[in-house]
Amino acid sequence: MLVLAVGMLLSGAPAYADSLRCGGALVQVGDTAAAVRNDCGAPDFVDPWIAGNGVAYGQAFAMEEWTYNRGPSRLLQILVFRDGTLKRIREDGYGFIESRGSPACRPSDIGRGMSKYRLLQACGEPIQKSGGFVYSTRQRAGTHDYRLRRGLVPVYRERWVFNFGGNRLLREVTLENAIVVETDTLERGFDQ
């Protein structure tokens, strides 16, 4: 069992849980956002997947992802809420000390499976963002599953563009449900 857990952490695959311990309190899937904030405190990063209302399968979803970064000796905890209720808890590798000032990001620092919080900490804000709900055959781990019966599931897809200067190509990063699923190069960047 330990070998499986270590293997999942090293492979970059997200680990999911039904509960999380915050001090003396146990936070569980199904808890309200207010109860989680009371037990765990304010998150280090809050990401609303949609700004306003997004519609998928005729239903409006109010999605939010909270990240708790408790430092390099503890795992990052990512909590996903829908309509104010905790729906999923996952771990995202070990935490880190947040960067202060301008990040020194390189295109090779961006990889599949990276959370939006890690991407922002590594590379800062992109020069361009766009996004919205789409239908996808992509699974949680970022791989496409063409065997799905109905074939498509709603995901919140964002496309971010990073400029690494005039000597490098622009990098387009695709995130689905706040996880990097693809990177691509565009035309030559520019000096600012």
Instruction: Give the CATH number, domain containing residue 17.
Output: 3.30.1450
What percent of the chain stands above pLDDT 90? 59
**With bands split at pLDDT 50, 70 and 90, how would you rate the model's confidence at 192?**
confident
Q: Which of 64, 94, 124 is the last residue of a domain?
A: 94
2 in any annotated domain: no
- Helix-then-strand count for the chain, H and E: 3, 13
Residue 84 is part of which domain span? 13-94
Segment 18-72, tens digit of pLDDT: 899 998 999 999 999 999 999 999 999 999 875 444 455 555 567 899 999 999 9
Examine the domain organization and report whether 112 and 48 are in the same domain: no
Examine the domain organization and report whether 20 and 75 are in the same domain: yes
Examine the domain organization and report whether 153 and 90 are in the same domain: no
Query: How high is the pLDDT of residue 4?
Result: 38
Examine the domain organization and report whether 74 and 27 are in the same domain: yes
Cβ distance 116 to 179 under 8 Å? yes
Cβ distance 28 to 85 under 8 Å? no
What is the CA 183 to chain-centroid distance, rounded? 15
Task: Give yes or no for residue 128 having a pLDDT over 60.
Answer: yes
Its pTM stands at 0.77
Examine the domain organization and report whether 38 and 69 are in the same domain: yes
Query: How high is the pLDDT of residue 139?
Result: 56
User: What is the pLDDT averaged over residues 143-157?
Assistant: 62
Examine the domain organization and report whether 139 and 168 are in the same domain: yes
Examine the domain organization and report whether 62 and 19 are in the same domain: yes
Examine the domain organization and report whether 145 and 87 are in the same domain: no
Task: Give yes or no for residue 182 having a pLDDT over 80.
Answer: yes
Query: How high is the pLDDT of residue 8?
Result: 40
Amino acid symbol at 179: I
Query: How high is the pLDDT of residue 188?
Result: 95
Query: How high is the pLDDT of residue 152?
Result: 72
The helix, strand and coil proportions of the chain, stated in percent and rounded to the nearest 5, come to 15, 45, 40
Examine the domain organization and report whether 90 and 122 are in the same domain: no
* Number of structural domains the chain divides into: 2
Between CA 121 and CA 115 the distance in angstroms is 10
Query: How high is the pLDDT of residue 147?
Result: 46
- Among 101, 107, 103, smallest CA distance to 162 is for 107
88 in any annotated domain: yes
Residue/partner pairs of 164-167 with CB below 8 Å, 24 or more apart: 164/105, 164/106, 164/107, 164/189, 165/189, 165/190, 165/191, 165/192, 166/190, 166/191
Beta-bridge mates of residue 115: 179
Examine the domain organization and report whether 176 and 111 are in the same domain: yes
Examine the domain organization and report whether 39 and 87 are in the same domain: yes
**With bands split at pLDDT 50, 70 and 90, how would you rate the model's confidence at 175?**
very high
What strands lie across the sheet with 75-82, from one edge to the other? 15-17, 85-94, 75-82, 63-68, 45-48
Using DSSP bridges, classify how beta strands 169-176 and 179-188 pair: parallel, antiparallel or unpaired: antiparallel
